[in-house]
Amino acid sequence: MSGADAVRSAARTPPSDGHPLHAWSSDHHALELPPGHPFPIAKYRALREKLLAPGHVHASEPAPDAWLLLVHAADYVDRIERGALGAQERLRLGLPWSAPLVTRARAAVYGTVMAARAALVHGVAGNLAGGTHHAYRDRAEGYCLFNDMAVAIEVLRAERRIARPFVADLDVHQGNGTAAIHASDPAVFTFSMHGEANYPTPKERSSLDVELALDCGDGAFLAALDAHMPAALDAHAPDLVFYQAGVDGLKEDRFGRLALTHAGLVERDRRVFRWCEERGLPVVIVLGGGYGRPLSATIDACANLWREAREARRRRPAVHAVHDPTTAFPPA
Ligand SMILES: [Zn+2]
């Protein structure tokens, strides 16, 4: 069975208990990177294979232009599609351009849109890709071509499903693209907690930025999260939370520099899910960064995240209606 067939077969599995955790994956769109490239392309498939059996995993299609153009400049989308990036742009992106790269990036956007729609029905849903928060309206940066959360926000707003989204970006790097895209839009709250010494430099201004010291460790990280996130949720009164759950704060990570442990990240995830649950807020998970040495540390951290997500979904109300989450959503 091919990767795509495995995903499709899993997607046909009916919800058994009314509490399915729906997730979308993109790794069936094959993408080869040069040997030794630092981007951990292998983690996506490994994570899906680890999660596939008990989950409800759906195959992402490439997102259409109509979605991308709600956020991204037409000439930028056109340049990406044709591979007509300038030298500076290629350098900033950090990934070699190829047609499969664009397809894969479009699929990651699709997964976040679909997962966001599913979260509105099921309370919790996610994308086993995405969190590409460094992509700007008109340029690529930091392994990110399109900003999946920004596109999902605009698709769901255009469909009148949401009005006040909240982006909880707990990746070790600032969500600079997301912050810039929504900078002049008070209906979108961008919350970013990140290492002050980490990429990017300079940083953008999110609705709320919380900067953490180098190697801060679990205690300082969780204290900062407690001090800021619940209050920000209450102040904004959102109707959907996007959780960019990057695990690159892990001490085994080659890019992150926060020295978090697996237990610390699990506690982070539990708190985010609980705060959303207490407020009756649907939450959509996107994967974000993770560059562990060894990569198995990153995959383990992601698997922990999805375990917590599955528990969080179990605590939400059952949805017994049999439906195909890729097409059949209640009318907006
Ligand atoms: Zn990151």
3-state per-residue secondary structure call for 12-59: CCCCCCCCCCEEEECCCCCCCCCCCCCCCCHHHHHHHHHHCCCCEEEE
pTM of the model: 0.93
CATH of the domain at 86: 3.40.800.20
Residue 328 lies in a domain: no
User: Ligand 1 centre from 253 Cα, in Å?
Assistant: 10
Q: 179 alpha carbon to ligand 1 midpoint, in Å?
A: 15
Look up residue 172 and give its amino acid. V
Distance in Å, CA 27 to ligand 1 centroid: 19
**325 inside domain:** no
17 CA distance to ligand 1 centroid (A)? 35
In a domain, residue 155? The reply is yes
128 alpha-carbon distance from chain centroid? 8
How many domains, in total, are found in the chain? Answer: 1
Distance 172 CA to ligand 1 centre (A): 5
Specify if 282 maps to a domain: yes
Record the tokens describing residue 121, joined without a space: 């029905």
Give a yes or no: residue 332 inside a domain.
no
Q: How far is the CA of 285 from the centre of ligand 1 (A)?
A: 15
The parent domain of residue 297 ranges over 3-11+20-315
**CA angle 194–24–297, rounded 5-degree value:** 50
Sequential pLDDT tens for the chain (332 residues): 445 555 554 444 444 578 999 999 999 898 999 988 989 888 888 888 887 655 688 999 999 999 999 999 999 999 999 999 999 999 999 999 999 999 999 999 999 999 999 999 999 999 999 999 999 999 999 999 999 999 999 999 999 999 999 999 999 999 999 999 999 999 999 999 999 999 999 999 999 999 999 999 999 999 999 999 999 999 999 999 999 999 999 999 999 889 999 999 999 999 999 999 999 999 999 999 999 999 999 999 999 999 999 999 999 999 876 555 554 343 33
Residue 202 CA to ligand 1 center (angstroms) comes to 15
Tell me how crowded residue 12 is: count the other CB atoms within 10 A of its CB: 9
The answer as to whether 322 is a domain residue is no
Residue 39 belongs to some domain of the structure? yes
Is 321 within the bounds of a domain?
A: no
